[in-house]
Amino acid sequence: MSAILALFRRDLALAWSAGSGAAAPVGFFLGAAMLLPLSVGAERTLLGAIGAPILWIAAALASLMVLERLFQADLEEGGLDQMLLSPAPLEALAAAKAAALWVGVGLPIAAAAAPAAIALQAPPAAAGAIALGLAIGEAAFLFAGLVGAAAAASVKRAGVLIALLVLPFFAPPILFGAAAAAAAAEGAPFGPAFLLLCGTTLFALALGPIAAAAALRLQAT
């Protein structure tokens, strides 16, 4: 247990340390969201209809950015060998890394989504529900993304490869998440789309660490 907590705290500290700080993905998220009104025009009804779904795409792309170095750094520095030698199960350690990423990067993105949603003409009353849905969806992105990050850990410059591997896994959460955001904008935030989003997140939480650990064991041998 202490190994899992220690890894969680180490990765959280790394996520907030200078250089690889969480500010970069959040900035990317806001920048990508800003491009939307520049590309489709500032008409309020149009932005209100597509703003929240675009935030989901921006969040998915921002979470891709942090996946590349997630296991690569551990593999290069020998941290992965320590994880394999540790008595704690590798699945739990992989989950701890993803959880640290979720707290360090996923939650700030979700928090930034509330003002961004208002700026993109979503009703201000719905901003909280949109941010909550995105916080849950970020967990699905990061835990499903573990699989791609672990499988491509030994590949140099794996960013594009990880994106290709992981994007099919992003389809269900983005689908239900955007539907939940649209429902929130219409004033019915916690309907079936939100519950299905929670369901896909639970799927990713349960299966992502197992598949990632299977891939990590192969990386070390």
Per-residue b/e over 42-79, b at no fewer than 16 CB within 10 Å?
eeeeebeebbbbbbbbbbbbbbbbbbbbbbbebbeeeb
Query: Residue 203 CB, nearest distance to other proteins (Å)?
Result: 7
Instruction: Read off the tokens for 27.
Output: 């900035």
Nearest to 71, CA basis, from 217, 216, 207: 216
CA distance 100 to 106: 9
Tell me whether residue 71 or residue 102 sits nearer to other proteins (CB atom). 71
Q: Number of C-alpha atoms within 13 angstroms, CB side, residue 194?
A: 17
Residue 38 CB: number of other CB atoms within 10 A? 8
The reply on whether position 202 binds other proteins by CB under 8 A is: no
The reply on whether position 64 binds other proteins by CB under 8 A is: no
Query: Residue 171 CB, nearest distance to other proteins (Å)?
Result: 5
Query: Residue 9 CB, nearest distance to other proteins (Å)?
Result: 28
Query: Residue 183 CB, nearest distance to other proteins (Å)?
Result: 10
46, 75, 175, 188: which one binds other proteins (CB under 8 A) = 175
Per-residue b/e over 197-208, b at no fewer than 16 CB within 10 Å?
bbebbebbbeeb
148, 149, 189, 205: which one binds other proteins (CB under 8 A) = 148
The reply on whether position 168 binds other proteins by CB under 8 A is: yes
The residues that touch other proteins, with contacts defined as CB under 8 A, are 147-148, 151-152, 154-155, 158, 161, 164-165, 167-169, 171-172, 175-176, 179, 196, 200, 203, 207, 211, 214-215, 218-219, 221
